[in-house]
Amino acid sequence: MTLEVCRIDPRTGERTQVREKCEVTPDAVPELSSRMPPCACPRCRRR
C-alpha cells in the first residue's frame, strides 16, 4: 500500500505535500489501541 500525506486548501483546492509517498504494509489485525471506542451517543446507546 502506498501512503502520502497532503494538505488541501479548501478555498483554492491547491494540494501541498506534507510527507512523501512511501510503501507501507498494513497489519492483518489492528492493535487494540488503534481501535475506536464504542459510540456513546444517545442513538447508539439504545441498541
β-strand partners of 15: 8
Q: Which residue has the higher pLDDT, 25 or 29?
A: 25
What is the per-residue pLDDT for 40?
85
Strand segments, DSSP code E, in the chain are 2-8, 15-23
- pTM for this prediction: 0.46
Q: Where are the domains of the chain?
A: 1-26
Helices (H) and strands (E) in the chain, counts: 1, 2
Answer yes or no: are the C-beta atoms of 11 and 5 closer than 8 Å: no
Segment 29-41, tens digit of pLDDT: 767 776 777 888 8
